[in-house]
Structure 1
Amino acid sequence: MDKIIKRLNYLIEVLPSRINQFSKEEITVKPNSTWSKKEILGHLCDSATNNHHRFIKIQFEDQPFVVVPYKQNDWVSIQDYQNIPFDEVIGLWTAINKQIVRVISNIPEEKLSYTCDIGNNKCFTFLELIQDYLRHLDHHLIQIFGTSEI
């Protein structure tokens, strides 16, 4: 867990300045009709919001906890990340991830083995779900920056 917390704290510290190095054109261009860099960061806000709630609920609801998926494209579209100020998207991402660090820092060790039903007859432990959140985050940061070196 310490490695995850350390990585998230590092990203919270460096991502805002690193992502602000892109021009307005670079953050809003939509290659091949996919999400722009700005929308990818917005999607990461949505992911953080959903996982923040999951990370709290898993600790107090019946086991196995059923992870309910969300319609990612619809969330990005309805929140209109493409047209809101980029500093707001960055601020939202930063604030939610700071709270996630607070939540996961306080998870009792015994709860990390709780079972999470992720659908399709697959289950993760709570710890694996947290690890998957970071993998997902890193996957999209590679899309934004073109490298895993952030």
Structure 2
Amino acid sequence: MKEILERLNYLIVALPLKVKQFSEQEVSEQPEKKWSKKEILGHLCDSATNNYHRFIRIQFEKLPFFLVSYDQNNWVLIHDYQTIPTDEIVDFWITINQQIIRIISNIPEGKLLYLCDIGENKYITLSELIQDYVRHMDHHLGQIFGASSI
């Protein structure tokens, strides 16, 4: 978890600086049938919000913990990230990830092995779920920043 925490702490500092390199017009450009950079950032907020609850609940609810998926397109649509100032989206992303860092930092080592039911008779550990959260984030950061990803 040390590497995950280091990565998240780094991103909390680096992401706002990288986003400021774009104009509001650049982050709002919406490729046909794809999310704008702002909407991708919003999606990362939605991912953080969903995983925030998962990282807490798996520690005390019945195991294996059943992961409920969410409709990411509708979440982005309903939040209307396209019309929210980019700074607000970035601030929300920072705040929720600061809390996720606190949660991860306080997970007892034994609980990292707790199982999550991801459906179709497949299971992952809480540790793997946390790692997947950061992999997912890095994937989308690559979409925003391209080859010069953070």
Same-fold call, TM cutoff 0.5: yes
The structural deviation recorded for 1:119 is: 1.3
Name the CA distance, whole Å, in 2 between partners of 1:89 and 1:4.
22
Contact 1:141 1:148 in 2 (8 A): no
Which ranges of structure 1 fall in alignment gaps of 5 or more residues? none
- How far apart, CA to CA, are the structure 1 residues paired with 2:42 and 2:141? 12
Distance 2:80 2:42 in 1: 9
Aligned to 2:27: 27
TM-score (norm 1): 0.98
Q: What is the RMSD of the two structures over their aligned residues, measured on CA atoms? A: 0.8
Deviation of 1:73 (Å): 0.4
Letter paired with 1:51? N
8 Å CA contact 1:138–1:148 kept in 2: the answer is: no
What do the CA deviations read for 1:64-123 (whole angstroms, capped 9, x no partner)? 000000010000000000001111000000000000000000000000000000112211
d(CA) in 1 for partners of 2:148, 2:50: 24
Q: TM-score, normalised by structure 2?
A: 0.98
Partner SS state of residue 33, structure 1 = coil
Q: Equivalent residue for 2:60?
A: 60
The residue number in structure 1 matching 2:92 is 92
Contact 2:141 2:149 in 1 (8 A): no
- Give me the identity figure in percent: 64
Deviations for 1:36-76, whole angstroms, at most 9, x for unmatched residues?
Answer: 00000000000000000000000000100000000100000
